[in-house]
Amino acid sequence: MLKTKIAVFVSGGGTNLQALIDAAKRGEIPSGEIVLVLSSNETAYALTRAAENGIPSAVVKRKDFPSQLAYEEKMKEILRENGVEMIVLAGFMSILSENFTSAYPKRIINVHPALIPSFCGKGYYGLHVHEAALEYGVKITGATVHYVNEIPDGGEILLQKAVEVLEGDTPEILQRRVMEQAEWILLPKAAELVAKGLQKGN
């Protein structure tokens, strides 16, 4: 059976990438295969994780290009060369324009460390999300996997999972709990869901 070819976009440590790699090894993403890791940062530890698992990688930095369009065209070219059919954003810190997202309709997914529509959109990424949740005093937070369109965190929701906020949580502690209890569980599930759906459509 042909598998849906997946590229994982990263910018940092790659913990969500690792969750996907581990899930794939456990047979939890039978319909998909990670064929490429694309990073916006050449020092991202995620690239080491890719190398250790024999996954080809590429680095494309926004500042190396005169425009967003040129940057995105380069990424598209690399994706075409690798036959990529689906993209998972796993801590990718670069915003993608409509020029890029419209080329992959319902083929790009992202994990956001909150229950959308709470604490999402422009400026809400990484620890900022958890700082905002604690500041607001919510008792429940979580993670959301959604399709990506031209609006930051604005695409259709695929999966969500709630995580309790506990007394004495710091943004870092909460971030770790959300990763362990929600992100690392939802992302492989959503990857399989979309990869399987694309196979039926192909």
Structure tokens at 126: 């990484």
Write down the catalytic residue from 112, 128, 130, 146. Answer: 112
How many CB atoms sit inside 10 A of residue 89's CB? 23
> Which H helix or E strand runs over 51?
helix 45-52
Query: Per residue in 86-128, pLDDT tens?
Result: 999 998 988 899 999 999 999 999 999 999 999 998 889 889 9
Query: Which sequence spans correspond to the domains of the chain?
Result: 4-201
| Residue 154 DSSP label | -
> For residue range 12-29, what is the model confidence (pLDDT) as tens digits?
999 999 999 999 999 999
Tell me whether residue 146 is one of the annotated catalytic residues. Answer: no
CA distance 70 to 182: 35
Q: Please name the fold of domain 4-201.
A: Rossmann fold (3.40.50)
Other beta carbons within 10 angstroms of residue 69's beta carbon come to: 12
Q: What pTM, to 2 d.p., does this model score?
A: 0.94
